[in-house]
Amino acid sequence: MLDDIDRRILRQFQADPSLSAAELAERCRISPGVCWRRIEKMQAAGIIQGQEAVIDWAALGFAVEVSLRFTLDKTQPRAFDEFIAAARKVAEVIEIQTFLGRVDVRLSVIARDMAHYQQLYRDRILTLPHIADIEALMHIARVKRDEVLPV
């Protein structure tokens, strides 16, 4: 589905998503028009889904990050939907993932400090519906964060 030109565009785009189409075209050794059409084609196909800002939460005063793993009460037919809908409303939840297996849902939660996390945990997390079990994993360090694919 992807040819060599598409792969060159994706490699350069992943390396520096802030490049203009003209700069990207120059690095890929193609014309800006060809580059732009290829990017539009990959966006339409869902290969390129967008660009996003990476925010340093610690720089904004959020020093605590916790990964919470939940097992839900699956005897309730709408447990997943209701849990996820409620979790989406918690502003400090920055990521929600669902799984097959013993763990059903994982939330990434940020807080300013441990006191803020404790309040958030008691007031917002423990009140989420259909919780059967919770495991908290305190984030210590991000060793690797890389979403670059080998194209």
Give tens-digit pLDDT for 31-68: 999 999 999 999 999 999 988 888 888 899 999 999 99
Is residue 77, in this structure, part of any structural domain at all?
Answer: yes
Task: Give the other-Cβ count within 10 Å of 23's Cβ.
Answer: 14
pTM of the shown model = 0.78
CATH number of the domain encompassing residue 93: 3.30.70.920
Is residue 148, in this structure, part of any structural domain at all?
Answer: no
pLDDT tens by residue, the chain, 151 residues: 899 999 999 999 988 888 998 999 999 999 999 999 999 999 999 999 988 888 888 899 999 999 999 999 989 999 999 999 999 999 999 999 999 999 999 999 999 999 999 999 999 999 999 999 999 999 998 888 777 777 7
Residue ranges making up the domain that contains 33:
4-45
The residue count of the chain comes to 151
What whole-number distance in Å separates Cα of residue 97 and Cα of residue 54? 19
What whole-number distance in Å separates Cα of residue 113 and Cα of residue 116? 5
